[in-house]
Structure formats: C-alpha cells, structure tokens
Structure 1
Amino acid sequence: MSRLQGKVALVTGAGQGVGQGIAYALAAEGAHVAVVGRTAGKLEDTCTEIRRRGGDALPFMCDVMVKEEIERCVAQVLAHFGAINVLVNNAQVVPLGRLLEVTDEAFMQGIDSGPLATMRMMRACYPYLRGDGAVVNCVSSAAVRWDASGYGPYAAVKEAIRALTRAAACEWGSDGIRVNAIAPHAMSPGMAEWVAARPEEAAAFFKTIPLGRVGDCEKDIGRAVAHLVCAEAGYLTGATIPLDGGQAYWG
C-alpha cells in the first residue's frame, strides 16, 4: 500500500499505544514518519520497527507541554524531511479521578498536554499543511459516558480538543487543510493499566461494546487514521470519528 507515498507525518505520543499504532499504519502507507514523544528509548523502538518493515521514520524528542519544544520539534522535522503533510495530536496526560479528588495541578497538566498543546502544534504546523494537509486530533467518548463519575476532568480536556478541531476545520478549510478528531478505544498501555486497576469496571465496560472487543492500536485505530488522511477521505473535515466498536452514542 502506498496511499501516502512521499508524505511526511508528525505523530505525537508515538512511542507506545495508539500513537505507535498510528505511526506504524502511516508508515505502511508510504509516509515518512516523525515519531515524537518524551522518552527516547520508546521513540527509537517505534522507529526501529518501522524500519524493520521497510518504512522510514526518525525520532524527535519533545515535551508538548512546553511551547518552545513544540516549535523546536517542528523546525527539526522540517529540516530533516522538508515538509509536514499530516499531523496527529495524540500525546496526553490524563487527569482521571472524581471532582473532589483531582488536584488543580493534575487538571492543568491535562489542559497543557491536551487542548493547549494541540492548538500550539496545529499553529506551528499550519504554514506547512496548507494546500493538501490533514490533521487528526485524539479525543474521547468520556464526555458521553452513561456515568461520568470519575471522568469529568478528562472529558473536559478532551471536549476542548474537539472544539478546537471543529474550529480549525472551519477556519482552515479554504487553505486546503482538513481537521478531524477520533475517539478511540484500544488496548494501549494506559488501557491495560486501567483494566488491571479496575477489573470489574473494565469487564462491565467491555460488555457494552457491540463488536465485543477492544480495538488494536494499529489494525483498528492506525489504519482508520491512515484512511482519514488519504485522498479517499478528502471531503471529510470537522468530524469526530468514534473508533470504539460502536460503544459510545454521540447523538
């Protein structure tokens, strides 16, 4: 497959989980992948696997909560690859917990790593996405859970990203930039930790997924993202795509 042949994709949080799965899938479609994150070893592992499969990838260290690091990262990606055609904002510090438990500091980390980082990264990449670029932002179905207890702060930061996604789609459509969001369920390290910590809640949650399983980071999430940023989805923008096996009802 080579639907993204010659394109350059920047994926944040690509050292593991959903971000890694997306990086694998984009590389499989021929994209040169800038693998972005905070942990050098994990980034290199992702790049090594992409190269083993015959793809092209390079690691870039970046803490998305620091504006200067985002700007430096984008400049480094451009210096190496010469372009940025696809941006995937996946990195996120998750502020899980009930309203009386989550600290201000934890909530602000969610803001800084989520909507603020997403806006900063989109702004930094905007000049290079013009013409035929695509952005995919990772959000969550937590805001439409039947029981939002313990998920309010997390849902709040993810809903902010959804709002920014819609705004960017409306403002940048005339520039040839498409911007969509995905709300995935996948067996990432974070999901695995949640299952281990809350096995009864997790078991009940999984029973509500019509397809009867949790998604695979690459096959179910990454490949869907690869399709979203390809020409075949060229008339789709401003949408939230629930990659969750039918679990959430967005209404």
Structure 2
Amino acid sequence: MTDLNGKVALITGAGQGVGQGIALAMASAGADIVATGRTLAKVEATARLVAQRGGRAIPLVCDVKNADDLKAVVDAATQAFGGIDVLVNNAQEVPLGLLEDVTDEAFLNGFLSGPLASLRLMKLVKPIMATRGGGTIFNFASSAGIRWDMAFYGAYGAVKQATRALTRAAASEWGRAGIRVLTIAPHAESPGLKGWIENNPTEAEAFFKTIPLGRIGRLEEDIGRAIVALCGPDMGYLTGATVPLDGGQANFD
C-alpha cells in the first residue's frame, strides 16, 4: 500500500459510508485524518476506529453548505497537524426526482453541498498545499450524469457534471503548484445505496446486471484503498481525470 506517513487528509462526510471507508484506508496507510460531518457522534466513531489502528484523527462538525464551517475545519486541521496534503470532497446532498418534481430548494442544496462546497474547500486548501510542495484533491461525481436515460436523474446529474468541470479547471490552473485534482465516480456499499436497493428491488436487480464485476464496491477495500493508491507517487502524472470505481459499469469516454 502507498505510504502516507506524514500526510494529512481532510475528508468531508467521514462519519459513514464512503467517507469513513476512505478515512480508514488512509489511516491504515499512515495519514493523519481530519474527519468532518454533520453529526458529531458519527465522526467521533470514525476517529475511534482510526485510533484502534494506531492512527491519529480529529472529529469535527461541519455543514459543507456553510462557508464559515468550511474555513473553521481547514483552520483546525492546520492547527492540529500543520497542514493539509489530501482533500476528499465526499459530502453531498443529492437532488433526485423527475424534473417537474425537484424543488428549487433541493436543486440549490445540491449545488451548495456539491460543486460550491468543493470549490470553497479547494480554494481554502490550495495555498496550504502549495507551501507543502503540492497535494491531491478528490471531488466526487457519478455515472448518473452520463446515463443514456436521464429521467429522474437530471438534477443530480447536473450537479455532478458541474463538479467534473471544476476538477478539470483546477487541474489545469494548479498543476504547476504540484496540486493534482481528480474526480472519483464510485459505486459503493453506502447507506444511501443500500437504502435505494431495498426500496427499489426490481430496478436494483437490473442495475447489478450492468456491472461487469457483478457487485458493489466495498467501502474501504475497493474505494478507500484505490484513493490511497491515487495519492502515491506512482500515480503522480495523473490529474484532471474522472476515475470510475464502479466495477466497469460506466463509460466516461
């Protein structure tokens, strides 16, 4: 596994699901973890799991839609660990539904918690990473943005495609500072996906048939460890790309 000793990772939405899986994988690789989320008890649980592996983590409450919260967690991270080397923009509210049913509030919250929150955090950590010789930023998208049938996923896809555009721009603008920016498009055993499978068994059965590997990704082993690997020097020439961790389902070409 890639050695992340001496690195600091700030992860939003780290109290459960994909964010927690990434936090545990990074901690196992030696990184110090700044685990943020809306529920203190959940990020405290993640911090305890990190400590059980011999790692260090600080749990912080953060609503990614709140600009003051974002600045506060970046300040806390630099105070606790001296800087930030990896940013994982995982937290996101998802606006799902037919276009005529998606409210303005849901659509705006999707953008506030997704591309705007990601952009705000990217801008906050950019000078910190630059002074440390570079860093890696991960934004999150979804194959929902490139479905052949966009019905029900239009608002969600719009949010995620905006995030991909920001990744490309940041990779272009910040590469000379040693900062790589990647978009991750995962399928993982998150609480949200599990709930969707339980509530939509027929659609879920059809969904599984479209995944060549025939299963959903494991949070730590498949998603977290892949992101750890992407932080390493062997992947140091990769930036601006969308990396699908989805068992071969989506075609982002």
Aligned residue identity for 1:197: N
Match of 1:96 in 2: 96
**Structure 2: any 5+ residue segments left out of the alignment?**
none
CA shift, 1:2, in A, is 5.9
Match of 2:203 in 1: 201
Q: CA separation in 2, counterparts of 1:231 and 1:87?
A: 16
Residues 2 and 178 of structure 1: CA distance in aligned 2, closer, same or farther (over 3 Å): closer
The Cα offsets for residues 114-149 of structure 1, whole Å up to 9 and x where unpaired, read as: 000000000011111112211011111101112211
Q: CA separation in 1, counterparts of 2:147 and 2:212?
A: 15
What's the TM-score, normalizing by structure 2? 0.97
Match of 1:211 in 2: 213
Q: CA separation in 1, counterparts of 2:90 and 2:122?
A: 12
1:134/1:229 contact within 8 Å kept: yes
| RMSD between aligned residues | 0.9
Aligned residue identity for 1:177: I
What's the TM-score, normalizing by structure 1? 0.98
SS in 2 for 1:148: coil
Q: CA separation in 1, counterparts of 2:4 and 2:196?
A: 34
Q: CA separation in 2, counterparts of 1:31 and 1:231?
A: 15
Match of 1:226 in 2: 228
SS in 1 for 2:91: coil
* Pairs within 5 Å for 1:1-251: 1=1, 3-130=3-130, 131-251=133-253
The Cα offsets for residues 97-129 of structure 1, whole Å up to 9 and x where unpaired, read as: 110111010010000000000000000111111
Q: CA separation in 2, counterparts of 1:233 and 1:60?
A: 30
CA shift, 1:95, in A, is 0.5
How many percent of aligned residue pairs carry the same amino acid?
57
The Cα offsets for residues 123-176 of structure 1, whole Å up to 9 and x where unpaired, read as: 011111112211011111101112211001001001100000000000000111
Q: CA separation in 2, counterparts of 1:142 and 1:67?
A: 27
CA shift, 1:60, in A, is 1.2
Aligned length: 251
SS in 2 for 1:164: helix
